[in-house]
Amino acid sequence: MNTRALAARVLAQVFKGMSLTAALDGALPALALAQDRAFVQALTFGVSRQFHKLDFWLTHLLDKPLKDPEIKALALVGLYQLAFMRVKTHAAVAETVAAVGKKTWAKPLLNALLRNYLRQQDRLEHACQLHASAAISHPNWMIKSITQDWPEQSARIFAENNRQPPLVLRVNLGQTSRTQYLQLLTERGIAAEALACCPTAVQLTKPVPVDGLPAFSDGWVSVQDSAAQLAAGLLDVQPGQRVLDVCAAPGGKTAHILEMQPQLHELVALDIDPLRMHRLHENLQRLQLNATQTVGDATDPKNWWDGRPFQRILLDAPCSATGVIRRHPDIKLLRKPTDIAALQASQTALLAAIWPLLAPGGRLLYATCSLLKQENEQQIETFLAHCADAKAVPIVAEWGQERPFGRQILTGDQGMDGFYYALIEKH
């Protein structure tokens, strides 16, 4: 299997609306060698990350648009190799042209296009600086929204979005200490450091496959960004409490809550997607943790709730995911400006449906991986204005920034993903 052809096939699926993760999950098993799988991942993530710039160049190099999605994807793969990868020029051109397979009509076109790019590289780079979307490699609507909300920080946010994210681990303190696990990594020759923002977080200097991590299969560590690791501590679960984790799959925060407080009365992990719940089940199995796993619609509690209140609720709400673009660069291709209103409506409906399930004196933690104020602080402001028995609990921390309601982490702050948290108490 030609790796560049497979990368183009994956990208063509993304162009049609499939997530990059799902497209890769379906494609990578066809490759036997780990280095080939890594190369396809590097190509597809890279093209997705730099899509708006690459597409701008492609448009300027063609007389008319390419109608074949796989050939267009292959052209972008070729351009990405020449501009951003340490692949020898002749190899990048020759191997990309060879990847057309039976579509032999595309060989001379791709060969001419890639060689033309090499001749016009400086001119094209200069030209894209005059167009914000190409220069920043983000869609125009996203540039406008993020700049409007964070005018002083937007340039850094866009730069962070286009960088590869660090690999961060969550140490299971029920199995080992962070210091002991760092020692294990040192013994394996894996460079890492503890992160001050979170007591369970360890960041690797260079990514390694999870099967190369000591005691990963035994549940000593999980892969989870430090911003996401903050949720369990903010929830502050106590022994004997009943906890609800809404939109729980794939289970990273569920597992962390259970690791931090093994003496819960019960943790109910709820998600509407059976396939994602299967991933949650697998993750809990590896970590040897137990939760009541429920597939159901959180906005319709009568179909799954037993009527017993919860002392803690985590609502990890569906959102634009604008804070995790560096991990999921296909968000820049898949997310549309019209999605935001629908996501806001979903967040509002979830808050309204879940709030009655919280016991008096209980706390709800609202979380998103969004940077947009309308999904975050404005959403909470509206909720509090319409809910007489709800009050905001200030989050005092050395990470992120305090907002009128809740606390916001911007992408790259202390190396973290972009996240928003608001803590609400029922009185």
Residues catalogued as catalytic:
369
Burial of 113 (0-12, 13-18, 19+ CB in 10 A): buried
* Residue 127: strand pairing partners: none
> Using CA atoms, how far apart are residues 314 and 367, in angstroms rounded to an integer?
8
Other C-beta atoms within 10 Å of 191: how many? 12
Tokens 């108490």 locate to: 425
C-alpha angle 290/301/315, rounded to 5°?
60
> Using CA atoms, how far apart are residues 32 and 155, in angstroms rounded to an integer?
40
> Using CA atoms, how far apart are residues 64 and 285, in angstroms rounded to an integer?
53
- For 314, the token pair is 């985590």
- For 376, the token pair is 């975050």
Q: Using only C-alpha atoms, what is the Rg of the chain?
A: 23
Helix and strand tally (H, E) in the chain? 17, 13
